[in-house]
Amino acid sequence: TPECPDGRSIIVIANDITYKIGSFGIEEDLLFQRASELARLERVPRIYISANSGARIGLAEELKFLYNIAWNDPNDVEKG
């Protein structure tokens, strides 16, 4: 661009649709937050490329006893 003829630094955040359908869990959310904060601190553009299925919401261990769940496959809860 005319403002940066030699190029500029950017921060890119992206979801990988081939890993857990690109969903966000707690660790991914923290990484997104930290990368966003760094972009603001460094005053550089942040680009977010999204290919995902939505959030992967966890359940707090201290609440699990309140639920009675019948998994399709108890060894692989991602199967529902």
Report the pLDDT averaged over residues 6-11.
94
CB 22 within 8 A of CB 52: yes
pLDDT tier for residue 73 given thresholds of 50, 70 and 90: confident
Report the pLDDT averaged over residues 64-68.
75
Token code pair at residue 67: 């639920």
**Could you give the maximum distance between any two Cα atoms of the chain, in Å?**
61
pLDDT tier for residue 57 given thresholds of 50, 70 and 90: low
Q: How far is CA 25 from CA 10, 34, 36, 52, 74, in A?
A: 24, 14, 16, 12, 20
- The Cβ of residue 15 has, within 10 Å, a number of other Cβ atoms equal to 19
Alpha carbons 60 and 45: distance in angstroms, whole number: 35
Q: What is the mean pLDDT of the chain?
A: 84
**Does residue 7 have a pLDDT over 90?**
yes
- Taking only the tens place, the pLDDT of each residue in 14-46 is 888 888 777 777 888 899 999 999 999 999 999
